[in-house]
Amino acid sequence: MKPSIAKWTRAAALSFVAVAAAGLSACNTPQTAAVPMQTAAPSAPGVHIGAIQVDTTPLLAQVGNPTAAWAQQALPAQLARALARRMAPGDPGAATLSVRIDSIYLGGGGPANPDIMRGVATLNGRETHLKATSTYFANPTDQALPEQALQTRVNNLSQAFAYWLRRKMHL
């Protein structure tokens, strides 16, 4: 082989390895959930949400941590995702959505005994009481990683709560 071809082949091989490594490294990086932009017109014009406040103080008194901390962590993002077309951060005329989570019950599993989250949301002086449910089905990894399984159940409840709130408030 000529020296120039060997250099080109070596450079091409190194370039391929670098591109492949960069592509594969993206598989291991944590992904952040972006709130998709909605182009559809809102169902109730004029209602914009500038901020979301979540209070889990009653939940902390009921079940303690880490369950209350998981709900406090998951709910703002789930609410922002569910209400994306209503979100207007920085808008001085936008309202603040206040959500208080009163209780979480992690059931025994299956549709006969679902997980339940109860709370109250207030927007523009309108108070809405809400109960959201999520069905849990046990799997073998739950026994190996019980804390992670419980956190996933709280995250699923937070998502259900956010979507039921959007529906009940007609947002």
Nearest to 162 by CA among 119, 109, 113, 103: 119
CA distances from 129 to 98, 118, 120, 168 (A): 12, 8, 4, 9
pLDDT at 127: 93
pLDDT digits (tens, 9 = 90+) for 49-72: 999 999 999 999 998 899 999 999
d(CA 51, CA 40): 21
Domain containing residue 149: 49-168
Which pLDDT tens digit goes with each residue over 84-122?
999 988 888 899 999 999 999 998 888 889 999 999 999
> For residue 96, is it within any domain?
yes
Mean pLDDT for the chain overall: 78
In a domain, 13, yes or no: no
pLDDT at 110: 83
For residue 10, what pLDDT is reported?
A: 52
Is 164 a member of any domain? yes
pTM for this one? Answer: 0.70
Per the domain annotation, does 91 fall within a domain? Answer: yes
CA distances from 155 to 15, 70, 158 (A): 42, 7, 5
Buried b (16+ CB within 10 A) or exposed e, 99-118: bbbbebebbeeeeeebbbbb
Q: Does some domain include residue 3?
A: no
For residue 34, pLDDT over 80 is answered with no
- Provide mean pLDDT across the span 141-170: 91
Contact 114, 105 (CB under 8 A): no
pLDDT recorded at residue 122: 94
- Among 12-26, 63-77, 116-130, whose mean pLDDT is lowest? 12-26
DSSP, residue by residue, 86-143: GB-TT-TTPEEEEEEEEEEE--SSSTTS-EEEEEEEEETTEEEEEEEEE-----HHHH
* In a domain? residue 32: no
In a domain, 26, yes or no: no
Number of domains observed in the structure of the chain: 1
Confidence category of residue 78, pLDDT binned at 50, 70, 90 = very high
Residue at 4 is within a domain: no
